[in-house]
Amino acid sequence: MTKTIPYWHVDAFASAPFGGNQAAVLVLDEWLPDDVLQAIGEENNFAETAFVVRDESGGADWELRWFTPTDEVALCGHATLASGHVLLTRDGGERVTFRTRKAGVLEVVRKGDAYELALPITRVEPSSQPDLLAALGFRGETFLSYEGAEQTAIVLMKDEDEIRALAPDMTALGKIDLMAICTAPGDDHDAVSRVFVPAWGVPEDSVTGSAHAALAPFWSERLGKSEMTAHQASARGGDLTMRLEGDRAWLGGPCVTVVEGSFYLTG
The whole-model pTM stands at 0.91
Q: What is the pLDDT of residues 79-99, one digit of tens each?
A: 999 999 999 999 999 999 999
Question: What does the pLDDT read at residue 65?
Answer: 98
CATH number of this structure's domain 2-120+252-266, picked from the four choices 3.40.50.2000, 1.10.10.10, 3.10.310.10, 3.40.50.1000: 3.10.310.10
So where are the chain's domains? 2-120+252-266, 123-234
CATH number of this structure's domain 123-234, picked from the four choices 3.30.70.600, 3.30.930.10, 3.10.310.10, 3.10.180.10: 3.10.310.10
The answer to whether 2-120+252-266 and 123-234 have equal CATH topology is: yes
Question: What does the pLDDT read at residue 201?
Answer: 85
Question: What does the pLDDT read at residue 267?
Answer: 73
Catalytic annotation present for 48: yes
Residues in the chain: 267
Residue 218, number of CB atoms within 10 A of its CB? 21
Question: What does the pLDDT read at residue 28?
Answer: 98
Q: What are the mean pLDDT values of the chain's consecutive 10-residue runs (267 residues total)?
A: 96 95 97 97 95 96 96 93 98 97 95 95 97 94 95 97 97 97 98 95 92 97 97 95 95 97 92
List the catalytic residue out of 30, 43, 48, 72: 48
Residues 6+ apart with CB under 8 A from 1: 266, 267
The residue among 52, 82, 90, 50 whose CA lies nearest residue 67 is: 50
C-alpha span between 186 and 14 (Å, rounded): 19
Q: How many angstroms from the chain centroid is the CA of residue 73?
A: 10
Q: What is the pLDDT of residues 22-32, one digit of tens each?
A: 999 999 999 99
Residue 120, number of CB atoms within 10 A of its CB? 18
DSSP per residue over 7-50, as a string? Answer: EEEEEET-SSTT-SEEEEEEEESSPPPHHHHHHHHHHH-SSEEE
**CA 39, 45, 50, 51: dihedral to nearest 10 degrees?**
-30
Question: What does the pLDDT read at residue 95?
Answer: 98
C-alpha span between 172 and 121 (Å, rounded): 28
Residues 6+ apart with CB under 8 A from 257: 8, 9, 10, 85, 86, 89
